[in-house]
Amino acid sequence: MSKSERIKKLVEAGRSKYIVELDRQITTLEGTLASLGQSYDSGRAQDIYRSAHRLKGSAPTFGLNRVGEIAEHLTELWEWSNQSPESGADRALTSILSETHTHLIRLKIEYEIARNQADLTVRESLWERESIAKPGRLLLIDDDSLLRSYLAEQFQVYGYEVDEAEDVAEAKRKLYDQPYDLLLLDLMMYPQSGYEMFKFLKEDPTMRWLPLIVLSGREDLKDKVRCLRSGADDYVTKPFQFEELEARVYNVISRARQFESMAFRDGLTGVFNRRYFDHQLLLELEWSIRDDEAISLAFIDIDNFKAINDSYGHQSGDMVLQGLAKILQSNLRPTDLLARYGGEEFVVLMPRTEGDQAKLVIERVLSVVRSETVASTTENQFRITFSSGIAEWRLGMSHAEMLRRADEAMYQAKLEGRNRVICHS
């Protein structure tokens, strides 16, 4: 099945699911409206606004433009409830409820039309491009489960890996567990709005440069400016065409990767370089001091590396460095920061990790290195070991002192026979 055929099936399936969800939403709105007709409740008024806002943003994505227009009228009618809900008792609620009832009748008509359509009109022309092998890993943060699921499936067709989060709290947990190439963030969520994510990302030095695209049902200049000044890479207003959104995601990830490669990556191994590591070390220490959490650092130095260069040439030495970097990347934890510090030295920063824990992590990696061929040519296979020193940050210790202690522990490991990990006492 071609990509176009797969996407067509997804659109059809997504629209079918959405029509079922639309029926549920209309029934819920009718119940809420009836309750408000008996007595005013600010929470129920906000429920109507949030439901309408959600429909306004998602319905046109599935081709239900009329539903989106009706939902927009409802959003405007109840927007006051989101800004000053307690003022509802002073408003002409009878008139508002009557107008809302009329819009709900129109919604039910549109639902019946959509449900009875035998042949759905789907988009035939898709923006075709050659996808890269791994477009990227996305975290999609939206409290609209149906739209979120639909977008996730669409991105997966294009080769992206996608994780979903229904609110800010779940997104934070997933960000600590898994690295992402880009976040897609719905701005209007409940109970915490998308603006909470900006604050969280800005305060965490390991995530402040993570690309982010805002998805919002509000065509509001102040929102756009606020998001872009807060660090958003793009702002996309619902409703949107998926092909346009995917193109924006692709371009943001591509630019971020190019910038990162030029500024922060070691040209030989592809891991972070010393410049980036020194910068991140200072930020991570600030974060650890503020939150009173442990942080450790490991120096790693390849044993007898000079002999490899002298006996087999620098090209073989480069292959060994590349092979070790690959093993380190594959076996360290997602929260660990790996960099090439110079020559045959690598360094690993381990946030929220005590010295003894860090030692176990590096010993496990060393065990993998011992058992594998790190590089090979037609004539030779290279197996290596390394020596490592661990330093845990202590109160009053500078970043330079922490580096010095890890370096001293690494040289102690060399003196004791290499092929081991020592934690600075």
Residue 26 lies in a domain: yes
Minimum mean pLDDT range among 60-69, 324-333, 355-364 = 60-69
Residue 128 lies in a domain: no
CATH code of the domain containing 38: 1.20.120
CATH code of the domain containing 381: 3.30.70.270
- What is the residue range of 78's domain? 3-116
Pairing of strands 212-216, 182-186: parallel
Whether residues 156 and 249 fall in one domain: yes
Q: Point out the domain boundary residue: 60, 87, 116.
A: 116
Mean pLDDT estimate for the chain = 86
pLDDT score, position 62: 79
Residue 125 lies in a domain: no
Residue appearing with tokens 């789907």:
122
Whether residues 257 and 156 fall in one domain: yes
pLDDT score, position 117: 61
Instruction: Check if the beta carbon of residue 327 is closer than 8 Å to that of residue 368.
Output: yes
Whether residues 304 and 407 fall in one domain: yes
Confidence of residue 199 (pLDDT cuts 50, 70, 90): confident
Whether residues 308 and 419 fall in one domain: yes
| Active-site option among 128, 344, 345, 379 | 344
Whether residues 163 and 260 fall in one domain: yes
pLDDT score, position 91: 58
Whether residues 280 and 319 fall in one domain: yes
Reference 369, options 350, 355, 388; nearest CA is 388
Of 36-50, 139-153, 352-366, give the range with the top mean pLDDT.
352-366
Residue 325 lies in a domain: yes
Residue 126 lies in a domain: no
Whether residues 284 and 407 fall in one domain: yes
Whether residues 419 and 352 fall in one domain: yes
The CA distance from 294 to 213, in Å, is 32
Instruction: Check if the beta carbon of residue 227 is closer than 8 Å to that of residue 206.
Output: no
Which tens digit of pLDDT belongs to each residue from 287-326?
888 888 999 999 999 999 999 999 999 999 999 999 999 9
pLDDT score, position 4: 65
Tell me, what amino acid is at 268? L
3-state helix/strand/coil string of the chain:
CCHHHHHHHHHHHHHHHHHHHHHHHHHHHHHHHHHHHHCCCHHHHHHHHHHHHHHHHHHHHHCCHHHHHHHHHHHHHHCHHHHCHHHHHHCCHHHHHHHHHHHHHHHHHHHHHHHHCCCCCCCCCCCCCCCCCCCCEEEEECCCHHHHHHHHHHHHHCCCEEEEECCHHHHHHHHHHCCCCEEEEECCCCCCCCHHHHHHHHHCCCCCCCCEEEEECCCCHHHHHHHHHHCCCEEEECCCCHHHHHHHHHHHHHHHHHHHHHHHECCCCCCECHHHHHHHHHHHHHHHHHHCCCEEEEEEEECCHHHHHHHHCHHHHHHHHHHHHHHHHHHCCCCCEEEEEECCEEEEEEECCCHHHHHHHHHHHHHHHHHCCCEECCCCEECCCEEEEEEECCCCCCHHHHHHHHHHHHHHHHHCCCCCEEECC
Angle value at C-alpha 118, between 112 and 119, nearest 5 degrees? 120
Whether residues 251 and 177 fall in one domain: yes
Instruction: Check if the beta carbon of residue 335 is closer than 8 Å to that of residue 350.
Output: yes
Minimum mean pLDDT range among 20-29, 66-75, 120-129 = 120-129
Whether residues 279 and 408 fall in one domain: yes
Q: Point out the domain boundary residue: 238, 264, 290.
A: 264
Give the count of alpha carbons within 13 A of 226, CB side only. Answer: 13
pLDDT score, position 3: 63
Backbone angles phi, psi at 160, to 5 degrees: -75, 150
Query: What percentage of the chain exceeds 70 in pLDDT?
Result: 91
Active site residue 344: yes
**Domains in the chain, number:** 3
Residue 219 lies in a domain: yes
Whether residues 35 and 71 fall in one domain: yes
Taking 50 as the threshold, does the pLDDT of residue 125 lie above it?
A: no
Whether residues 85 and 181 fall in one domain: no
Rounded to 10 deg, the angle between the 42-58 and 65-78 helix axes is 150
Confidence of residue 134 (pLDDT cuts 50, 70, 90): low
pLDDT score, position 181: 93
Q: Point out the domain boundary residue: 264, 298, 317.
A: 264
The CA distance from 370 to 289, in Å, is 36
Residue 129 lies in a domain: no
Query: What percentage of the chain exceeds 90 in pLDDT?
Result: 47
Instruction: Check if the beta carbon of residue 355 is closer than 8 Å to that of residue 391.
Output: yes
Q: Verify cis geometry, omega within 30 degrees of 0, for the bond prior to 211.
A: no
Residue 245 lies in a domain: yes
Confidence of residue 132 (pLDDT cuts 50, 70, 90): very low
CATH code of the domain containing 178: 3.40.50.2300
Instruction: Check if the beta carbon of residue 206 is closer than 8 Å to that of residue 334.
Output: no
